[in-house]
Amino acid sequence: MNTGSLRRRVAIAALALLALVLGGVVTAVTLAYREKLDGDLRSRLLAAGSAVERAGSGTAAKPLIQGLALEGIATRIGVAANPLPAGKGGPAPAPTKTGLTIQTHGSLLVLVQILPDGTEVIFSASRASMDSAVTSLLVVETLAALAALAIAALLVGRVTRTALRPLSQVIDVATRIAAGDCALRLRPSRSDTELGSMAAAFDLMVDALESAIAEARTSEEATRRFLADASHELRTPIAALQASAETLLREQPERPNRDRLEAALARDAARLGRLVDDLLGLARLEANPARGPVELGTLARAAIDDARTRAPNARITLTLDADATVLGDRDALARVIRNLLDNALAAVDGRGRIELCLGRVNGTIEARVTDNGRGVPESERDRIFERFVRLDSTNPGSGLGLAIARRIARQHNGDLTCDACRSGASFTLRLPAP
């Protein structure tokens, strides 16, 4: 990016353009003035020739010589066969027939007139006065042009300083924003001009940067809180594993105490494995999920079959009202449905009623899971989607399942909510229909 002085470049460009225009004007005026003087001189010579021609003879033309001399025209009369000298301009060529010709000899303009009686009349006029007048005009024009350039330089400097004042305001606002005053904006009165468009773009950029900073701070705070919660959640099963292992190694208990400790060891290891799996799943959500057509009905049937195998005493039904195909990540959406069914199974202790309904509502695909279990208090319906939140402390889960499920839903431009119902709990997954 060229970072030279914009004011200097604008001033130089404006003055250079003005100099070209003035140069063209001076040249055109000078040439026109010279052409006019030359034309006037030729007209006077032709008028003198016409007057002599009307006289008809050299004798009759002699009274005209004095008047022509007052006009700066020198006249010489001679015989065509033996012409007289033409003066400073050198000898004129001997004419052979009547008529007139105009010739240039140095600084003289010469007209040769042949009369019917054979008399040769030579008129000559000097161009020195014309050249002097043209030179004087050129000097005056040059001085006037230089004066105009000087005045223009002062005016251009003042005008550019005034015109570029908004840039100084941009620099001032940017400096104050960098110093910490993030609420400042340019707020242009018009956005359909060059400076207005630049100011509007500047405000949009600062707004975007401020939003990005706020999001970064929120993400950093969430990450810090997540690490703290994860450390806390991991500490409990790890401590239990360590205590059970140390007891087994140190005391070498007999059965059935040994069986109890080994069962606790296996249970804590399984809990730790589920927690680590959930943490890895939550971390994978930071990447963009793969997108493709996904038939939720197929995922629901597979999840229900698995749930019936694990809880044969539960009554699980599926209601499919319409085609439930969406665009998304098949594995991630399957995880959401499995998580909702697992939570429902835990709420009914494997023996209650669970219903999964799939359908289309106002251009949205909805998957609703309801159960007749303990239900969710109204004050906790949004909190249960936070990380590591468990309403039942006896639940072996990690408290990450619903947080992961909602995150997956929102990554698919949808949402997951806990809805009010008369008994039990109701969770609804909403996804945009393709």
What is the value of pTM for the model shown?
0.47
**pLDDT at residue 431 above 70?**
yes
**pLDDT at residue 396 above 70?**
no
**pLDDT at residue 278 above 70?**
no
Q: According to CATH, where is 3.30.565.10 located in the chain?
A: 290-432
Burial degree of 282 (CB within 10 A; 0-12, 13-18, 19+): middle
21-33 burial string, b = 16+ CB within 10 Å, else e? ebeeebeeebeeb
**CATH topology (fold) of 171-284:** Helix Hairpins (1.10.287)
Mean pLDDT of 212-223: 79
| CATH of span 290-432 | 3.30.565.10
The better pLDDT of the pair 306, 166 is held by 306
Compute the distance between CA of residue 191 and CA of residue 189 in angstroms, rounded to an integer.
7
The better pLDDT of the pair 126, 20 is held by 20
Residue 226 pLDDT = 66
Q: Are 348 and 316 in contact (CB under 8 A)?
A: no
The helix (run of H) or strand (run of E) holding residue 320 is: strand 315-320
* Cα distance between the two ends of the chain: 45
At residue 431's C-alpha, the angle toward residues 427 and 434, to 5°, is 155
**pLDDT at residue 235 above 60?**
yes
Tokens of 403: 């947080």
Compute the distance between CA of residue 315 and CA of residue 153 in angstroms, rounded to an integer.
92
**pLDDT at residue 83 above 50?**
no
Give the chain's length: 434
